[in-house]
Chain A
Amino acid sequence: MSTSASPAEPSASPPEPSTSGNSSQKEGAGEEARDDRNFECNICLDTAKNAVVSMCGHLFCWPCLHQWLETASARQVCPVCKAAISREKVVPLYGRGSSDQQDPRENSAPRPSGQRTEPDGSLFNGFGLGDNSFHLSFGIGAFPFGFFTSTFNLGETRPSPAAMGTPQHLEEQFLSKIFLWLAIIFIAWLLLA
């Protein structure tokens, strides 16, 4: 098509640092207004409600952005900088004040939720054994004796279990659980046969 125009960035002047503590009421109000402008939704130009921010850093109300994504469904671009944008890749902003007091506009889907990554830790508590140091080994050797030694862990010193939280510890937990289930299946098979 014809000429491309670059969409203008809202040119908010950087807030001036207050030099003294006893600035007048009027100055304070001006600063507040300027601060508010920094948090305007780029679509409705009002202070962003249910705010979300795109990966390119542009702030919107979620209802506004949702409607934009619905309207321009063939071309999912940021309304400000035209970078690729998608519903999954916007980040909601949770301020300290309650965000529930705002009226969610009609026809707007719920705002995407934040994504939390769990810190590293014990992920395999699935069997509910509680005691993480439970170990079970299983082997087939020279039948009566090998069975005894391997079952009751006699006569050999075993390396101590890896420290909690390390990848090795997780791996050991996982393997021991697999072997536990194998043993249960094996015993069940023996009983049925």
Chain B
Amino acid sequence: MANIATQRIKREFKEVIKSEEVAKCAIRVQLVDDNYTELKGEIAGPPDTPYEGGNFVLEIKVPETYPFNPPKVRFITKIWHPNISSVTGAICLDILKDQWAAAMTLRTVLLSLQALLSSAEPDDPQDAVVAKQYKDKLDMFEKTARHWTHVYAGGPCYNQEFADKIKRLEDMGVEENQARVALSSYNWDLERATEQLFSS
């Protein structure tokens, strides 16, 4: 049955390359190995979201039972989003779990993920810290997400204040990414982030 998975991925791959979303640079798929079991996806951050201007890379693993089971997808690019783990990039999306249907394709999965970026579901979070910030301090969430998009996904919005705070933690010997996670988790409160970093 691995045969049907490969056959289908080949067909989908051809289809996605020809699709209009690719022409508009909204989504992209690349092969990672020659036997079509692992692919690299890319989605553009949707306009009017904190992810605008960013380019997010995804790891797509095609199981042998595809398309009867969903592909395993996670974000390689770090992202600040309630339904995506800021640490592992794991995604909480129903169609990648129990709502998968065999007629869905790489193209629809990537478009669904793009839709997830523009409409987060904080009530069904993958990252509880991000979800709490999204619900309590939406403004702070958007700034943080924009900052992450700039740093990891090549987004346009540079944030001097956040960069300075990270620099101060780095001067204390904290690794940059670790400093960013701590500050983001504590709403960019330098004191509390420092406390948390040095208490553990």
Contact = CB atoms under 8 A, between A and B. Distances in A.
Contact of A42 (B11, B99, B103): B103
Interface stretch (B31-39, B109-117, B142-150, B155-163): B109-117
Interface string A47-86: 0000000000010000010011001100101111010000
A46 B3 CA distance: 13
A79 B99 contact: no
B8 to A, nearest CB: 6
B105 interface: yes
B101 A79 contact: yes
Contact of B105 (A3, A8, A64, A71): A8
A8 B108 contact: yes
Nearest to A106: B1
B4 interface: yes
A79 B69 CA distance: 11
- The contact size tier of chain A is 20 to 34
A4 interface: yes
Nearest to B125: A2
- Interface residues of A: mostly helix, strand, loop or mixed? loop
A44 B112 CA distance: 21
Given A5-B95, A45-B11, A67 B101 contact: no
A88 to B, nearest CB: 19
A121 interface: no
B15 to A, nearest CB: 8
Contacts, number: 81
B102 A68 contact: yes
Interface residues of B, number: 33
A64 B3 CA distance: 13
B67 interface: yes
Contact of A4 (B99, B105, B107): B99
Contacts of B105: 8
Interface of B: 1, 4, 7-8, 11-12, 15, 65, 67-69, 83, 92-95, 97-99, 101-105, 107-108, 111-112, 115-116, 119, 121, 124
Interface of A: 1-5, 7-8, 42-46, 58, 64, 67-68, 71-72, 75, 77-80, 82
28 contacts: A1-B92, A1-B98, A1-B121, A2-B116, A2-B121, A3-B83, A3-B116, A3-B121, A4-B95, A5-B93, A5-B104, A5-B111, A5-B115, A7-B103, A7-B104, A8-B104, A8-B107, A8-B108, A42-B103, A43-B102, A44-B7, A58-B103, A71-B65, A72-B68, A77-B101, A79-B102, A79-B104, A80-B103
